[in-house]
Chain A
Amino acid sequence: MSDEEVRRDERSARSSRSTRRQLPRGMGAQVAKIYVAGGTLFIPELRVTKAAFEGDRYFAQHFYALMNAAGAVERVVIVTQDITERKRTEQQLRESESLSRTVIEQSPWASRSAPPRAAAVLQPDLAAAVGQDRRGSPPRPGERPAGADVRRDGRPPRGVGAAGAEGLRRGRFFYIPELRVAKPAFGGDRYFAQHFYA
């Protein structure tokens, strides 16, 4: 075998071992740049469809070029993280929030979902009843939701009595049959009944 044939064999072998990628649009050029100019690159999400995966899988990839003494790229390290579970959890959370929002929006009763330190969902009926913008800002620690005599410090609403307090502490359903709310915007007192569901 001549030297030329040996070199051709080596080139062929190297070529057959090359990696092949299908990257998000526009990322191919950036990856190629890493191999030429060095530097780092982060691809936050790469969707991969493969029969063996039983559905799509998602990956995040970091590219790091290692340079030699002459300043040329000598190696490239590719770190791949499987983020499929995180993506699924995010999707489930979005669906759950959407479902919760739909239930609240379509409920015939005024309702307000207010998890501590999170964005509140204020139903249009309630927003109108308490005179508050339904897109209102998330409740802050210690803030009292409009129209409801509920404390945010973990204690039960004022005046609910020992039985109600115990019920709320145990995370059970609680009902306030009558709640008087005085607010200038109301032009007089308004009365509400409230259900609490922990």
Chain B
Amino acid sequence: MIVTQDITARRRAEQELKDSEERFRSLFEQATEGILLTDEGGIVLAVNQAMENICGVPRSRWWAGQPSISSGS
């Protein structure tokens, strides 16, 4: 028995989602303003390059050492 399913719509949706994410990432990374994305508990989920430059803190430390532009830790 051969079952065939048309997944064209899903593939297109995936591609559109991928394109949309690319656009968001590009916008996020190239913004001149520092952008920080947190979850509802204040946990940092994403930091862009401008935020790194503004705070002078490498991105890796945002996950490990609680830096903030105010605390500067």
**A residues engaging B (CB < 8 A)?**
14, 16-23, 35, 46, 48, 50, 52-53, 59, 72-82
Contact = CB atoms under 8 A, between A and B. Distances in A.
Contacts of A79: 33-36
A77 B34 CA distance: 10
A19 B68 contact: yes
A59 B64 contact: no
Interface in B57-73: 62-64, 66, 68-73
B44 interface: yes
Interface in B1-47: 33-45
A19 B72 CA distance: 11
B38 A78 contact: yes
A14 B38 CA distance: 12
Instruction: Give the interface SS of chain A, mostly helix, strand, loop or mixed.
Output: strand
A52 B73 CA distance: 11
A50 to B, nearest CB: 4
B34 A20 contact: no
B54 A59 contact: yes
Contacts of B64: 16-17
A6 B6 CA distance: 42
Contacts of A20: 66, 68, 70-71, 73
B68 A80 contact: no
A52 B72 CA distance: 9
Contacts of A82: 34, 54
B41 to A, nearest CB: 7
Contacts of A78: 35-38
A17 B63 contact: yes
Contacts of A81: 33-34
